[in-house]
Amino acid sequence: MIDQITPTLYSYVLSKQELDVNYQPIVSVSKQSIIGYESLLRTYFQGELISPGALFDYAVTTQNVAALDSICQTYALTRYVEGHHSKLLFINLESSLIDYYLENLTLIKRIIDEMGIPHGKIVLEINEKRTPNNEQLIELVNMYRNEGFLIALDDVGAGHSNLNRIVFARPDIIKIDRSVIMNIDQNYYKQEVLRSLSELGQKIGAITLAEGVEREEEVITCVDCGVDWYQGFYFARALPALQPCLLDYQGKCSSISTQYQKKAIQNMKDLSIMVQRRKLSFNKLVQIITEYFPTDLEEIIHEYLKSTTDLECVYILNHNGIQITETMFHPSSQFRNHDMFSPMGKGDSHISRPFFNYAIHNRNNIYVSTKYISLATGNYCQTLSKHLVLSSKSGDTDTIVICADYAMI
| In a shared domain, residues 233 and 322 | no
Same domain, 240 and 192: yes
> Which of 244, 269, 298 marks a domain boundary?
244
* 409 half-sphere exposure, CB direction, 13 A CA radius: 3
What is the structure's pLDDT at 98? 82
Residues 168 and 137: beta-carbon distance below 8 Å: yes
Peptide bond into 294 cis (omega under 30): yes
Does 325 share its domain with 204?
no
- pLDDT confidence of residue 60: 78
How high is the pLDDT of residue 216? 94
**Dihedral (Cα; 114, 120, 121, 122), 10-degree rounding:** 80
Residue 265 lies in a domain: no
Among the candidates 221, 244, 267, a domain finishes at 244
In a domain, 263, yes or no: no
Based on the fold, state whether residues 72 and 184 are members of the same structural domain: yes
Give the residue from 191, 226, 244 where a domain finishes.
244
Q: How many folded domains does the chain comprise?
A: 2
Which pLDDT does position 392 carry in this prediction?
66
User: Percent of the chain beyond pLDDT 90?
Assistant: 53
If asked whether residues 160 and 70 sit together in one domain, one would say yes
Q: What are the residue ranges in the chain where pLDDT is below 70? A: 84, 128-132, 159-162, 241-247, 392-395
Q: What confidence score (pLDDT) does residue 338 get?
A: 77
The set of residues, in sequence order, having a beta carbon less than 8 Å from that of 356 and lying 6+ positions away, is 317, 321, 350, 385, 401, 403
CA distances from 123 to 152, 164, 169 (A): 6, 21, 14
Q: What angle do CA 168, 169, 173 make, to 5 degrees?
A: 140
Please check whether residues 235 and 330 belong to one and the same domain: no
Domain presence at residue 260: no
CB 371 within 8 A of CB 312: no
What is the C-alpha to C-alpha distance for residues 190 and 184, in angstroms, rounded to an integer? Answer: 6
Q: Evaluate whether 194 touches 201 at the Cβ level (below 8 Å).
A: no
CA–CA gap between residue 281 and residue 270 (Å, rounded): 17
In a domain, 98, yes or no: yes
pLDDT for res 42: 83
In a domain, 304, yes or no: yes
pLDDT digits (tens, 9 = 90+) for 47-95: 888 888 888 888 878 777 788 888 888 888 888 887 767 889 999 887 7
* Domain CATH code at residue 302: 3.30.450.20
- Where do runs of H (alpha helix) occur along 182-245? 188-204, 216-224
Within a domain: 264: no
Q: Which domain holds residue 221?
A: 7-244
Q: What is the reported pLDDT for 208?
A: 97
Specify whether 214 is located in the same domain as 313: no
Residues 99 and 234 in one domain: yes
pTM for this predicted structure? 0.83
Same domain, 135 and 188: yes
Amino acid 249: pLDDT: 77
Same-domain check for residues 115 and 218: yes
